[in-house]
Each structure stands twice: as C-alpha cells, then as structure tokens.
Amino acid sequence: MEKFSKIKSIPAYLPIVNIDTDMIIPKQFLKTIKRTGLGKSLFFEMRYNDSGQPINEFILNQEPYNQSQILIADKNFGCGSSREHAPWALLDFGIRVVIAPSFADIFFNNCFKNGILPIVLPQEKVKELSEIANQKKEIEVDLEDQKIHKGDNQPIDFDVEYSRYNQDTFLITDKYEITVDYISILVEAEEQACTSHDVMNRIDEFQWRMSNVEGVQSAVSLPHVAKKINAGYNEGNPKWNVLPRTEPTLVQSIARIPSSSGLLNGNCSVMPVILFMTDHKAETITRIVDAVKEYRTEYEGDDLRFVLASGPVGVMAATNEAVSASQTPMLIYVFGAVIILCLLSFRSLRATISVVLPLYIVSVLAQALMTYLQIGLTVSTLPVIALGVGIGVDYGIYILSTMMRCIQSGQSVHLAYLTALRERGNAVLFTGITLAIGVSTWVFSSLKFQMDMGILLTFMFVVNMLGAIIVLPALARILWWKDKQKNV
C-alpha cells in the first residue's frame, strides 16, 4: 500500500448510521484472500440493482464522488463482523480516509493495519464537513499536522492517538451527555440553603457560566435538576423551566431529589456542581480550574463558597498542581546531587560542566517531546525525567573518566577522546542501544501510557548516549582549549 502524509479530495458523504461490514462488502465476496479486486463490490447492495446495473442515486456512482479518497460516514461505522475484507474493499476502491463520529472497535483497528486513516470527530464537525461534500468542494487531510483543511482559516484538528486509544471514553462521550471525566465543584452554604432562591440562583448562574467553558461537555447541579422538576409539575411547559421564587414551591421542586444523587448532602449545606469534561488533558483541566477560580469570585459571599474540587478530574487537578510545584525542586535536587558527586569524583569544574550540560540539554529536549506528544506532567511521568538524568550521567562518566586520565597524563583532548572510545565506546553504545530496543517495544502496547513512556524512554536513552559520545567531547575540546596543541 502507498503511504501518505496528505490527502486532498472531494469527500463523499454517506449519511447512514450503523453501516456494518456486510453492507461494506457482502458475504458472497469473502471467498478470496487477495486484497485487490474488491473495490468494484464495495457497498454492492446499495450501488447496484438486482440486474447488476449501477444505481445512479448512490453517492459513489456519481461524479465526482466516484473518485473520492475521503469518505464521511455516520455513527458506529464498520460494526458487525470482524471481516478484514471491509477495509480491503474501501482501499481498493480508493478510499484512504474515513471520517465519522464513531467506529466499531475491530473495524477501527483493521483500518490502521491496512493503510486507511479513520478519524473520529464530534458530530457537529462531521456535519460541517458533510456540507462541504455536498457542495463538491475539496478538503485536505494533513496527517503530519493532524488537521483537516477546508478552504478557510479554521482547520479542524484531529488526534490519531486519541482515536486509537480512547474508543471506550469516546463512545460514552458520543452517546451520552456525561463522560467518565468529571470534576465536582463543592458549593458550601448554610444549612437549608437550598430553600433560598438567591443562593440557588447564584449556583445556577455559575453552572451556566462553566457550561460555556471550552472542554466542558455538560454540567449538572441541584438548581439545574430543580428547574426540570418544576417544569414537570407544570405539564413539562418550557416556560416553567425556572427556579421557583417562593420557598414552598422551591421546596416542592427539591423534595424528591435524594442525597444519594450526589447533588446535595443531608442538611443541604453542600450542593456540588458536577462538570463533565470532553477529556482529561492537562491543558483542559487547567483551563476549567482557572475558569472556576475566576467565576467563583462573582458569586461567592458570606453565605456561599465554591471550593475546588472532588471527582476523578478534581484529584488530577490537585495532583497536577502538586507535580508542577515539585518539578523544579526535583530537578534542582537531582542536578545538584550530580554536580556535587562529579566535583568530588573528578575534582574539576570543567569535567563537571562537561557531564552536566549534556544532561540538562537532554532534559529540556525530553520535556519538549512531552509537550509535542501531549504527555502530561503527572506523578507517573515526572520520575522519567529523573531516570533520564540518572542513565545519562552513567554514559558521561564512562567516557569522561578515561578522557580525564589521558589528559592528566599529558595527552591532547583529541587523543584522549579516541582512547576513551576504544576503551568505553562499545560499552556505552551497547548499553544505550540495548536499553532503547527494550523499551521501544512498548510503542506497540494497547495502553496509551505505556506507549507514551516507550517513546519517551527510547528518546532519552538514545539521545543521552549520543550526548555522551558527541556533545561531551565537544565541550571538553572547548573547556580544555589550552591543551589543544599538546601531543602525546
């Protein structure tokens, strides 16, 4: 199959929910094990009539859609059996990209194995692209930048790794108004505060403000549910979807909401606002936490406080803040220990700089890689940076210890480096490559965290090794500049 980084085509839109693999390629065409020749039978029962003649109304039988390389589909595309002939038929027809709100898991993975890029997008983005398809305009899918360009200055972002590793979360997010990622803002008030219209209204307004923050999919709170109940008491009339202003009517609206719902406690002094989020990326969490801190100042008073936070994402937010605060001290301690031990071992400031500077450069590059791969700084990932420093200092000491011995005996930096390579170079290369190969296999893991750590550790092992072999001697050449002309 031909690899691609960009695909530009007029997309074909197939607005049918739950297209299964039997619709994509019927069972009578499954006798072959060849991957070619199936394109003519793609969507056979929808493309051809009983006489085998093309049905002109079908989208892929029409110009210019019969040349489309991009297919826009609807929810749950590729459901049904696990037959790999389905992506084979799409590929043979010429389809290289399929865009849909959701895919069946097995079909989704089969696409990756067979050179088709499945892209998961929110329903509103799929609708936007379908309108472009109906206008017979081209779009461009840029795999490297993970963007869909549609002829304006507002490209649509997509995330290949998110699509591959978070299908369970996406399915829940797509089909329900709640997600597995949520944060609970604890609203503290006086006892029986839920009978106060003013308090309930401030909570309701705060919830509305937070619902409009990017990254919040939906929100729920006691006032939100109370308004629904009030409307229910009035034949579901939308005009009554408001908070009652009188205490008896307000009490009637909240009386049927049990404390087990998590929306209030026994004496109504704590009434959480629960925010369901589109994902739990660090930037999303930070954006929502910052919004809470900003908006709560407008609604807090002596009788009301908005406190961060509980729920899975609330714990992540607190952990992220603690980790972020610990990052700089941890690096200072690690590099401080390395500097002190190098000074004691080599008794040379120049030697210490030669070891520590490449380590620092690799640490900065590793954090840049984490940003590029959208790997958050967490309790699990923070020690990896320290591990990289620990491995890197070993490489540097192997090379520099031999170089220092040779320099002190009167050899030039150049000859000292060659001696170090002969004595220790093979060991450094073997150790670095062996470690890198071992962790690089994690890239094929079905766990995203393990895959991310495989990439990061492979990078740190290899680049630390190259730093010891290339950067360290270059620094030594500069720092021992007075010895450049020395000979054996």
pLDDT of 134 reads: 93
Run of H or E residues at 418:
helix 413-420
Same domain, 273 and 379: no
Same domain, 295 and 392: no
Same domain, 145 and 212: no
Q: Answer whether residue 308 shows pLDDT above 70.
A: yes
Asked, for residue 428, whether it belongs to a domain, the answer is yes
pLDDT of 486 reads: 47
Q: Answer whether residue 487 shows pLDDT above 50.
A: no
On average, the pLDDT of the chain sits at 86
Q: Which residue has the higher pLDDT, 371 or 351?
A: 351
Asked, for residue 352, whether it belongs to a domain, the answer is yes
Same domain, 205 and 304: yes
Q: What DSSP assignment string belongs to 283-338?
A: HHHHHHHHHHHHHHHHH-BTTEEEEEEESHHHHHHHHHHHHHHHHHHHHHHHHHHH
Q: What is the pLDDT of residues 354-366, one digit of tens each?
A: 888 988 888 888 8
CATH number at residue 339: 1.20.1640.10
pLDDT of 261 reads: 85
- Residue 38 main-chain phi, psi, to 5 deg: -90, -15
Q: Answer whether residue 383 shows pLDDT above 60.
A: yes
Q: What is the pLDDT of residues 52-85, one digit of tens each?
A: 899 999 999 999 999 999 999 999 899 887 678 8
pLDDT of 373 reads: 76
Region of 487 (left: φ > 0; alpha: ψ -120 to 50; beta: rest) is beta
Q: Are 95 and 71 in contact (CB under 8 A)?
A: yes
CATH number at residue 148: 3.20.19.10
Q: How far apart are CA 328 and CA 466, in angstroms?
A: 25
Asked, for residue 12, whether it belongs to a domain, the answer is yes
What residues does 149 pair with on adjacent strands? 140
Number of domains in the chain: 3
Q: Answer whether residue 1 shows pLDDT above 60.
A: no
Same domain, 86 and 196: no
Same domain, 38 and 162: yes
Exposure class string for 247-286: b at 16+ Cβ within 10 A, else e = eeebeebbeeeeeeeebbeeebebbbbbbbbbbbbbebbb
Asked, for residue 467, whether it belongs to a domain, the answer is yes
The gap between the terminal CA atoms of the chain, to the nearest Å, is: 58
Q: Which of 310, 335, 367 is the last residue of a domain?
A: 310
Q: Which of 284, 310, 336 is the last residue of a domain?
A: 310
Asked, for residue 315, whether it belongs to a domain, the answer is no
CATH number at residue 239: 3.30.70
Q: Answer whether residue 165 shows pLDDT above 60.
A: no
Q: Are 182 and 311 in contact (CB under 8 A)?
A: yes
Same domain, 457 and 474: yes
- Strands laid side by side in the 182-189 sheet: 216-220, 273-277, 182-189, 304-310
Q: Which of 109, 140, 173 is the last residue of a domain?
A: 173
pLDDT of 412 reads: 86
pLDDT of 353 reads: 92
Q: Answer whether residue 2 shows pLDDT above 70.
A: no
Asked, for residue 258, whether it belongs to a domain, the answer is yes
Q: How far apart are CA 265 and CA 250, in angstroms?
A: 17
Same domain, 115 and 223: no
Q: Answer whether residue 213 shows pLDDT above 60.
A: yes
Q: Which residue has the higher pLDDT, 108 or 326?
A: 108
Q: How far apart are CA 109 and CA 113, in angstroms?
A: 7
Percent of the chain, pLDDT > 90? Answer: 34
pLDDT of 284 reads: 85
The parent domain of residue 338 ranges over: 321-483
Q: Which of 135-139, 256-260, 263-267, 268-272 has the lowest mean pLDDT?
A: 256-260
Same domain, 274 and 164: no
Q: Answer whether residue 483 shows pLDDT above 60.
A: no
Q: What's the maximum distance between 2 C-alpha atoms anywhere in the chain?
A: 99
For residues 187-210, average pLDDT: 93
The pTM of the whole model exceeds 0.75: no
pLDDT of 174 reads: 56
Asked, for residue 165, whether it belongs to a domain, the answer is yes
Q: What is the pLDDT of residues 6-52, one digit of tens each?
A: 899 999 999 999 899 989 998 888 776 677 888 999 999 999 998 88
Asked, for residue 488, whether it belongs to a domain, the answer is no
Same domain, 273 and 363: no
Same domain, 31 and 149: yes
Same domain, 254 and 399: no
